[in-house]
A and B are shown apart, each in its own frame.
Chain A
């Protein structure tokens, strides 16, 4: 996940390597692939997409925007007025993202294979449909 600061706009962005379209595909066909579970099978971290409703928490990230060029899922957030130096901005974002980043990195590694599996299965299903 790439993190960028836009101090002139008082905003920051988190851009995932996962595409919004892939998140929506897995949400429909394999929602478990968007989660990390503990040994008992309880969800301890999840990612999702909800247009305009970005959020980052220790238990999950909701991407609320999409890079128009690459289709990558993004979080767009506001920098507080108190973050008036580059260092303070970096510390603010690090405090927000810190606990979630490791989990997001894990999911960014596993999601592409899950998407490939769903795409293959879905294509096979569509190919098997015949006209009456």
Chain B
């Protein structure tokens, strides 16, 4: 089992999940749409959200951070 601390632009949540779960499954359970977000797992950008946490290099029994942040556009010149 792993612990995942999730942060989006509007919310923070801590959930437990199996190592064989995927970021997309976690986002789905929490009704989070990551499609417009930059998603990072323990600081590393991830693009394939259907990979399992184990495939993404997470060690079982650990606490991890999963961020889905929408970056605002910079000011126009």
Which residues does A use to contact B, with CB under 8 Å? 35, 42-43, 46-48, 50, 53, 55-57, 59-62
Contacts and interface: CB of A to CB of B under 8 A. Distances in A.
A59 B16 contact: yes
A106 to B, nearest CB: 16
Contacts of A61: 1
The 9 closest A-B pairs by CB, nearest first: A60-B1, A57-B61, A55-B60, A62-B1, A46-B16, A55-B61, A59-B3, A50-B18, A60-B16
Interface string B3-25: 10000000000111011100000
A43 B2 CA distance: 12
Interface size class of B (residues with CB under 8 A): 10 to 19
Nearest to B18: A50
A62 to B, nearest CB: 4
B14 A60 contact: no
B63 interface: yes
Given A46-B1, A48-B1, A62-B1, A56 B61 contact: yes
Contacts of A48: 1, 16, 18
Given A50-B19, A50-B20, A62-B60, A55 B1 contact: yes
B1 A43 contact: no
A42 B2 CA distance: 15
Contacts of B16: 35, 43, 46, 48, 59-60
B64 to A, nearest CB: 11
B36 interface: no
B21 to A, nearest CB: 9
28 contacts: A35-B16, A42-B14, A43-B15, A43-B16, A46-B1, A46-B16, A47-B1, A48-B1, A48-B16, A48-B18, A50-B1, A50-B18, A50-B19, A53-B18, A53-B19, A53-B20, A53-B60, A55-B1, A55-B60, A57-B1, A57-B3, A57-B61, A59-B3, A59-B16, A59-B63, A62-B1, A62-B18, A62-B19
